[in-house]
Amino acid sequence: ATRVYNFTAGWVITNPDGLFNRPTIGINGQWPLPRIEADVGDRVIVHLKNDLGNQSTSIHFHGLFMNGSNHMDGVASTTQCPVPPGAIFTYDFNVTQPGTYWYHSHVDGQYPDGFRGPLVIHDPDNPYADLYDEELVLTLSDWYHEQMPTLIKKFLSVTNPTGAEPVPQSALMNDTQNLQIPVQPGKTYFLRIINMAAFAAQYFWIEGHTFRIIEVDGVYHEPAEASMIYLTAAQRYGVLLTTKNDTGANFAIMGSMDEDLFDKVPGGLNPNVTSFLVYDTDKPMPTPKLIDSFEPFDDMELRPTDGEELLEAPDLVVQLDLMMNNLGDGVNYAFFNGITYVRPKVPSLYTALTTGALAANAAVYGVNTHAYVLGHNEVVEIVLNNQDPGKHPFHLHGHAFQAVVRGAEDSGDYDPNAVKNGSLVLPRRPMRRDTILVRPNGHIMMRFRSDNPGVWLFHCHIEWHVDSGLVMTFVESPLILQQTLPSRIPDDHFAACAALPMPTA
C-alpha cells in the first residue's frame, strides 16, 4: 500500500506541562504531532509544506535505513538542503523494517521546539504477534519553556565557557502529564516506548508490574524480563506488558529524567512524569512512590532473535576520541579527534554525487564534516573513547550497529589488546540498535557492515551536542551512489538549494 501524509508545519501555541504557553512547531495546526504508521513493504509519501515563516526545516525518519533512497534521509546539509519557508518538499520511500521509530526535524536545534512525532511500522510477520492483544504507543520527552534559537545562543556563548547545557523545565509522556491509559485485566499489551527528548534520558517503570523487552530500536530481541529500563534521547523499546487479573487498583506509569546529565539541577525541578494504568476509572489514581536510586535493565545483555553473529575481522577501525573544549574564542565546543563538526554549504551527498572519482577522497567533503569514506560491504568498527565526564547517546544513520563492548563509567579508553590477551571476551551475538549510551569517561566499541550506500551521520543525539559539533560523517560507497542515485532525486530536492552545484545524471 501507499501511505500519503500531507504535513504543513507551522507555529501553534501549546502548554503541555500546564506551566507556560509557548510557540511550538505543529503539523496541520495540531500538536502533539500525528503518528506516521505503515506496514513493512509499504511506500510512504510525506508532502512537507513549510509554513513556519521564519525557519527552514526538514524531516528525518529516525532509524529507517533508507536503502537506495539516501536522499530521503532528511538531514539538512547532509542529504538535502533545508526546506525554506514557503516551499514544499516530498519524502517518498519504501519501508523495509518493522518496529518503533520516530520522525523529527534534522535542521540543527529544531526538533525540541516540537517537530518530533512517533513512527510505527507494523509487521505482517511479527514473530511475537501471538503474544499480545493490543498495541499502545508512549512517547517520553523533556520540555523547555524557551525556544531553541534563544537557548542555543546562550549555550554557545562566552557567558557559558564550560558548556553547561540548558536544563529542561519538565518531563512529558505522550506530550502531556497525568495521562490516564485505560487497560483491561488479563490482557497483554505491546507497549512501544519512544524517547523524543532533546537532552534528558529517562528511567521508565510501571508500579506493580514487570514487562518483557522484545524490540530495541526496531530490532527484535529475545524476550528479557525487566522492571525498569533507561531510554536515552532517541532510543526506543518495545515491551510486552501483561495486566493483572483483577481491577482492584490503578497503577502509576513513571518516567524520571536522569539528573546526572544536568550540570546543575535547578531548585524546584520535577524530573518525574506520571501517567496511569487505569483498570477502573471509579478507583483513585495512586500517588507514585518517588525513588532516587535506579537500577535499569542493561541493554548489552539483549540478544537479537535473528541470531546474527559478531562481525569479525574489521576492514576499518574508526577511533573517535570525544572531548569538550574551546577554540580560544571562549565558547565551549565538542570534538571528535580535535574536529568540531561544521555544516557544509553543499550537502555532503551532493558533493559525493558531483565530484567523480574524487568522491572517494575524504578531503573533498571538507575537514569540518569529519568524513570517512567506506568501501562496499566492509566490516567497520567504531571505537568511541569518551574522554568527557558526561553521558552521551550515540546514533548512527542508515544502520543498526552491533553494540559489542561498553566500558563502565571511568573505565577509560578501549584497549584493543584486551581481546588478544584474553581479558575481554566479545559476545557471540551482540545486541543491535541505532542509538547507544556511552558512559562518562568510558568507551564503546560497535561494528556494522557497510551494505547501504549513502552519506550517513554519526552523532550524539543530545541536541546541544549536535549544535556544539559532536557529529561526523560516513560516506559509504560514493561511486555506487553516483551510478544509482542522481536519476532518483526529484526536482523539489534541488529547488530547496537554488545556487548550489547540482548533480548530473
Residues of the shown chain interacting with ligand C2O in the complex, contacts defined by CB under 6 A? 60, 62, 104, 106, 234, 395, 397, 457, 459, 461
Residue closest to ligand C2O, measured at CB: 62
CB of 370 to ligand C2O, least distance (A): 14
Identity of the residue, 49 or 461, whose beta carbon is nearer to ligand C2O in the bound complex: 461
How many other CB atoms are found less than 10 A from the CB of residue 294? Answer: 12
| Alpha carbons 178 and 162: distance in angstroms, whole number | 36
Smallest gap, in angstroms, from Cβ of residue 116 to ligand C2O? 9
Q: Measured from the CB of residue 55, what is the shortest distance to ligand C2O in angstroms?
A: 18
Written as one letter, the residue type at 34 is: P
Q: How far is the CB of 396 from ligand C2O (least distance, A)?
A: 9
Nearer to ligand C2O, 17 or 476 (CB): 476
- Comparing CB distances to ligand C2O, the nearer of 108 and 259 is 108
Comparing CB distances to ligand C2O, the nearer of 213 and 457 is: 457
Instruction: Kindly tell me the number of DSSP H helices and DSSP E strands found in the chain.
Output: 6, 30
Q: Which amino acid is at 258?
A: D
Task: Give CA–CA dist 324/390, Å, rounded.
Answer: 10
- Residue 500 CB: number of other CB atoms within 10 A? 14
Cα–Cα dist 130/395, whole Å: 31
Count Cβ atoms below 10 Å from residue 21 Cβ, excluding itself.
Answer: 9
Closest distance of CB 458 from ligand C2O, Å? 9
The whole-angstrom separation of Cα 479 and Cα 106 is 25
Residue 239 or residue 471: which is nearer to ligand C2O going by CB? 471
Identify residue 144 by its one-letter amino acid code. Y
To the nearest whole angstrom, how small is the minimum distance from the Cβ of residue 341 to ligand C2O?
12
Q: Which residue has the cell 564550560?
A: 162
Q: What is the closest distance, in whole angstroms, from the C-beta atom of residue 58 to ligand C2O in the complex? A: 11
* Residue 71 vs 461, nearer CB to ligand C2O: 461
DSSP H or E run through 298: none
Q: Which three cell numbers stand for residue 195?
A: 524517547
Nearer residue to ligand C2O within complex by CB, 120 or 183: 120
- Burial code (b: 16+ CB inside 10 Å, e: under 16) for 39-60 equals ebebebebebbbbbeebbbbbb
Beta strands of 150-271 (E only): which ranges? 170-173, 179-182, 188-195, 202-206, 211-216, 219-226, 229-231, 236-242, 251-257
CB of 397 to ligand C2O, least distance (A): 6
CB of 323 to ligand C2O, least distance (A): 21
> Which residue lies nearer to ligand C2O by CB, 212 or 236?
236
Q: Which three cell numbers stand for residue 6?
A: 500531507
Give whichever of 194 and 226 is closer to ligand C2O, judged by the CB atom.
Answer: 194
Parallel, antiparallel or unpaired: strands 471-476 and 371-374: parallel
Yes or no: say if 403 and 433 are a contact pair by the CB < 8 Å rule: yes
Cell 495540531: give the residue.
30
Cell reading at 397: 544513520
